[in-house]
Amino acid sequence: MDNVLMIPLAGTINADNASAVAQNIAAQRAEVRDYAALVFDAKDLAYISSAGLRIIMQVIKEEKLRKHAPVSMIEVSKDVYDILDMTGFTTFVDVQKALREISVEGCPVIGAGFFGKVYRLNPETVVKVYANEESIPVIKREQARAKKAFIKGIPTAISYDIVRVGDTYGSVFELLQAKSFNDWVLEYEDCLEKLDELTRLYVSCLKQVHDTELDMGDLPFARDEMLEKVDALKAYLPQDVQLRLRNLLLSLPDDLHAVHGDFQMKNVMLCDGEPMLIDMETLCIGQPIFDLQGIYVAYKAFPEDEPDNAKKFLGIRPETADYIWRRLLELYFGTEANLREIEEKIKVLAYIRFLQLLVTTDLQNSELGKLRIKHTQEHLQELSAIITSLEI
């Protein structure tokens, strides 16, 4: 979950200092007004009395009134957990015991994305380490969404443990000798026949995801999440362009089919010859275009103003990235389809996503970032004027 406020609890909290602790918590909540979830980090908490629990209870009530996500408490020691459990606190608050600590020093990196890296711990297990130290709610959301996907038959790895890795957190998976599709691309880059075979398997997995129907209410609509991105771009797009983009999205009907959200080849593993998805935190529901736009961002939008981006991020040559994108369209839609028209529609959503990513991260703070923003704004102005529907 985005905008998580992490508040540490330390030492002893009892009647002597409860008032001061309450004031400190209130000050931190007032300072960060736009958070969506509050998490108490109890790693350094040695004891909490009933006076301290009353403080936490009051915060829980206030957070509920604000319609924020439920308050949770992490890294709770055994002694403190016993107190919370004895008082019944654990029956209505998500309380997580202290996490196992691991080190990834010397472990090979088998995958890397914008928000973290995946390390091979041993032949049987991998750990996805998040770059953000406030990632516990994100990990839990990913676990919940992965379970929903798995139940519906989508091949996905499910995390069985959350661990502390230095100052941040990781999610542990059992993946026997698995390699990402991107790793296999690196091996097959000079063998077109094998590269094509791998791309066919990749597209087959993508179609399997899109053929899977989920239950209403299980997951958010990809369309609604994209509308939020458009709303966040008010300062970067003319009002008429923003209105046209909103109308294009609003015209899409509800669709309960699965959308992974970040289906680039680093997030699809090949395990015993079968594809398996990771990074399920972005799983949602909607039309296939919402997955295709994310793939376009990885293989086409990023390299547009930085030709060696595919080499830097994916390790592959620019022409290989172009081949994967072109071949994906052919295999997904068939060579008889109007692939140019389809791609133009995909680009609308891809550039919304790309611009939102650029302006909300450090990517904007460079000459390359400024150039990307300028060109993406131009693309959206041009495309929004000629595209009348996003249905493909």
Q: What is the CATH number of the domain that holds 11?
A: 3.30.750.24
CA distance 287 to 361: 27
Per-residue pLDDT tens over the stretch 185-233: 999 999 999 999 999 999 999 999 999 999 998 899 999 999 999 999 9
Full-model pTM: 0.79
The rounded Cα 353 to chain-centroid distance in angstroms is 13
173 half-sphere exposure, CB direction, 13 A CA radius: 28
Q: Provide the greatest CA pair distance for the chain.
A: 76
Same domain, yes or no: 217 and 314:
yes
- Does residue 392 fall inside a structural domain? no
Residues 341, 238 share a domain: yes
Co-location of 282 and 210 in the same domain: yes
List CB contacts of 369: < 8 A, sequence separation 6 or more.
358, 363
165 and 189 inside one domain: no
- Do 215 and 280 lie in one domain? The reply is yes
Each residue of 160-177: pLDDT tens digit?
A: 888 999 988 999 988 767
Residues 309 and 201 in one domain: yes
Concatenate the DSSP letters of all residues of 331-351 into one string: HHH-TTS-HHHHHHHHHHHHH
Which residue range forms the structural domain that includes residue 79?
Answer: 4-98
State whether 352 and 239 are in the same domain: yes
How many structural domains compose the chain?
3
The CATH number of residue 330's host domain is: 3.90.1200
The answer to whether position 103 is within a domain reads no
The Cα 279–Cα 157 span in angstroms is: 9
Q: Which of 174, 199, 219 is the last residue of a domain?
A: 174
pLDDT of 50-73, one tens digit each? 999 999 999 999 999 988 989 999
Residue 74 falls inside a structural domain: yes
Strands lying side by side in the sheet with 116-120: 100-101, 161-165, 168-174, 125-130, 116-120, 109-113
For residue 387 the two structure tokens come to 């595209």
Q: What is the pLDDT of residues 258-277, one digit of tens each?
A: 999 999 999 899 988 899 99
